Amino acid sequence: MNRAAVLAMIALAAAIVLPLLVPGYLVNVGMLVFFLAFIGQSWNLSGGFAGQTSFGHVVFFGTGAYTSTILHVTYGWNPWLAWPVAMAAGGLVGWIIAFLSFRAGLRGSYFALITLAFAEVFRILANSVPFTKGGLGMLIKAEPGAANFQFRDPVWFYYVALALCVVSLLIAWRLTQSRFGARLVAIRENEDAARALGIDVFAEKVKVLVLSGAMAAAGGTFYAQKYLYVDPNIAFGVDKSVEMLLVAMVGGAGTIFGPLMGAATLTAINEGTRWLASVVPALKNVQPLSLIVYGAMLILIVGRLPDGLASLFARRRRHA
Amino acid sequence: MLEVEGLSKAFGGLRAVEQASLRVDAGEIVGLIGPNGAGKTTLFAAIAGFHRPDAGRIVLDGRDITGQAPHKICAAGMVRTFQITQPFGKISVRENIMVGAYFRTGQRREAARVAEDVAMRVGMQGQLDQNGNDLTVAGRKRLELARALATGPRLLLLDEVMAGLNPTEIVEIIGVLKAIRAAGVTILLIEHVMQAVTSLAERLYVLNQGRMIAEGTPAEIAENPQVVEAYLGPGAAKVLRA
């Protein structure tokens, strides 16, 4: 086993025993980090590796959240069973969006805007159609028990999020080792050259969006089960799209660990500024402070570290 | 091997290529020359499936491939390079060439082996770990060639692989191209560097204002008054002969 694999094993072991050592509040923060890293990775597959920047990735997240919740609440499905169906629904929406926009030849900012438009349309639809209960949202009845994808002890949500995060890292790692991944990077770097070298650009882009959509949808179901509530703004609001994009960009788009690093950084800023506002009276009215720090952070990253935090490590390794 | 019959392509009112025909036999090196803006690159792009021709037929090994997508044409054994080099900038030369090699294999190890092999053939074995963006013009031209070669083609369409190179580099790349042909790959190349093309190609086609105006051996082409005038202007042939 090489050094990186050993380090990864140690980090995983530490993440597994962590809840035994720290207070519940930090376990919850850890859960948020892994969850954010997971949905950030779903953005990273299509936006980072394949270079198809999306501003509306929440459309897949919300599709997943609503699909499993409707199946569970309205039709009485077990949420665990509804989970794969939600992922399939996310993949299907990914296929539809990819098929329509890539067939029409949309690239770059045009594709980004189309995804944003889709997310907004879904939000408005969720607000108005009867089977989502409109703007009221849907409540999932609390029936604590692992069999219902609800846990009496929140530490289990931490472990599910950790598992999702590990799976997403494995998918990203696998991508860097495979032909599919090499083709996605080629498409990102130069679409015409990729075409000339025999790559069916359209098919590869559709594939990655299906994969990414299914992953984000899995995140949606997890979120709905954790908070036992979905409404159009939570499920299809633009802020989640921005979060997914931001964690990947801050951490390093197109890298394996970028979304995890970005998620840790953003969550730390979020929690840190909240704590600061609670102890420094002068900051009490500067709300939300976290957004100001996010903004400053983004300016710094874009200006100084366009390849994200992950590039710091890559650079150091090269010098060593 | 390749037959193009009466190919036309217009962009709006501009008739970039009109009724152009050419033939390439297996094992040949054929040159396509012509003044700037003659339509050479457009003709190439149409042959390789990047533009859908308005009229005409493209036949590769007896199979009609007119209007097919580039990846299908690549599967049929024909691949193009770009005049304006298009490296995958942020990945290494090795990974660049591997993208081409993945066309024939799904195995990473095999693709890496092919990439090293091809790099050796084009003289890039020392640059495998450099990034695409860090290459010189000569390096980028070689990379174009290497990636295309890695897809395992039987016919290479090379768009000005020598433009921008210095005389030493040109001599080197001519050697590389001759070795590629000797290994059984047929080559059709667009070229501006006249000495290079005459020392490489057995036959030349001359395109001017979208039309094929001449075809023949390099010696015949150099004598052809129409060709001389296409390059130097009307009346030039008479002046030169005098």
**SS3 per-residue string spanning A261-317:** HHHHHHHHHHHHHHHHHHHCHHHCCCCCHHHHHHHHHHHHHHHHCCCCCHHHHHHHH
What gap in Å lies between CA B178 and CA B10, rounded to an integer? 34
Mean pLDDT over all residues of chain B? Answer: 89
A66: domain range? 3-319
- Whether residue B82 and residue A193 make contact (CB cut-off 8 A), yes or no, is yes
Contact B27, B181 (CB under 8 A): yes
Query: What is the model's pLDDT at position B15?
Result: 86
Beta-carbon contacts below 8 Å between A and B: 76
CA distance A168 to B133: 30
Beta bridge partners of B11: B14
SS3 A171: helix
What CATH number is attached to the domain comprising B75? Answer: 3.40.50.300
The pair of three-digit structure tokens given for residue B90, joined into one six-digit string: 């942020």
Residue type, A49: F
Is B84's Cβ below 8 Å from some Cβ in A? no
Residue B74 contacts A, CB cutoff 8 Å: yes
Q: What ipTM was estimated for this complex?
A: 0.89
In this structure, is residue B127 part of a structural domain?
A: no
Axis-axis angle for helices B108-122, B167-182 (nearest 10): 130
Question: Which residues 233-292 in chain A show a CB within 8 A of chain B?
Answer: none
Q: Determine contact, residues A263/A250, Cβ cutoff 8 Å.
A: no
**Can you tell me the mean pLDDT for B9-35?**
90
Residue A54 Ramachandran class (φ > 0 left, ψ -120 to 50 alpha, else beta)? beta
- pLDDT number for residue A318: 47
Q: Which residues pair with B17 in a beta bridge?
A: B9
Find tokens 């840190």 and name the residue.
A272
Contact A179 B102 (CB under 8 A): yes
pLDDT value for A319:
45
Contacts of B106 in chain A (CB under 8 A): 179
Q: How far apart are CA B52 and CA B9, in angstroms?
A: 8
Q: Provide the shortest C-alpha distance from residue A307 to chain B (in Å).
A: 11
Separation between Cα atoms, residue B149 and residue B140, nearest integer Å? 14
Is the Cβ of A178 closer than 8 Å to some Cβ of chain B?
yes
Instruction: Say if residue B139's pLDDT is above 60.
Output: yes
What's CA A50's distance to the chain center, in Å?
16
**Token code pair at residue B179:** 């070795």
How do B2-11 and B55-60 pair as beta strands?
A: antiparallel
Beta strand B29-33 pairing with B186-190: parallel
Alpha-carbon distance values, B239 to B194, B225, B236, B242 (Å): 21, 11, 5, 5
Strand partners, B55: B8
Q: What mean pLDDT comes out for the span B3-30?
A: 90
Contact B86 A193 (CB under 8 A): yes
Compute the nearest-CA separation of B184 from chain A (Å). Answer: 19
Which is nearest to B22 in space by CA: B58, B46, B68? B58
For residues A235 and A77, give the distance between their C-alpha atoms in angstroms, rounded to a whole number: 20
What's the CA dihedral at B139, B105, B186, B166 to 10 degrees? 0
DSSP states of B150-185 as a string?
HT--SEEEEE-TTTT--HHHHHHHHHHHHHHHHTT-
What is the side-by-side strand order in the sheet with B155-159? B78-80, B155-159, B186-190, B29-33, B203-208, B211-216
Helix, strand or coil, per DSSP, at residue B88:
coil
Residue span of the structural domain in which B171 resides: 2-87+153-241
Q: Which residues of B touch A189 (CB under 8 A)?
A: 87-91, 132
Paired tokens of B41: 């690159």
* Calpha distance A178→A4 (Å, rounded): 18
Long-range interactions of A243-246: CB distance < 8 A, separation 24+:
A243/A36, A243/A39, A243/A40, A244/A39, A244/A40, A244/A42, A244/A43, A244/A57, A244/A58, A244/A61, A244/A216, A245/A43, A245/A47, A245/A53, A245/A54, A245/A55, A245/A57, A246/A294, A246/A298
| Structural domain count, chain A | 1
Q: What is the pLDDT of residues B157-212, one digit of tens each?
A: 999 888 888 888 888 899 999 999 999 999 999 987 777 888 889 999 998 888 88
Residue B97 within any structural domain of the chain? no
Q: Is A177 on the interface with B (CB under 8 A)?
A: yes
Torsion of CA B101, B107, B112, B114, to 10 degrees: -50
Q: Do A190 and B87 touch (CB under 8 A)?
A: yes
Pairwise CA distance, residues B225 & B235, whole Å: 9
Beta bridge partners of B23: B3
Q: Which residue type does A295 have?
A: G
Q: How far is CA A133 from CA A94, A225, A307, in A?
A: 24, 17, 42
Residue A76, SS3 per DSSP: coil
Task: Single out the residue of A242, A164, A178 nearest to residue A207, CA to CA.
Answer: A178
Instruction: Give the per-residue pLDDT at A315.
Output: 56
Q: CB A88: neighbour CB atoms within 10 A? A: 16
Q: Say yes or no: A197 contacts chain B, CB-CB below 8 A.
A: yes
Distance CA A283, CA B112 (A): 56
pLDDT at res. A320 = 38
**Does pLDDT of B151 surpass 60?**
yes
CATH number at residue A155: 1.10.3470
Q: Which residues of chain A have pLDDT under 50?
A: 318-320
**Cβ of residue B62 closer than 8 Å to a chain A Cβ:** no
Residues contacting residue B24 through CB under 8 Å, at least 6 positions apart: B1, B2, B3, B30, B155, B186, B188
Cα B215 from Cα B222, distance rounded (Å): 11
Model pLDDT, residue A216? 97
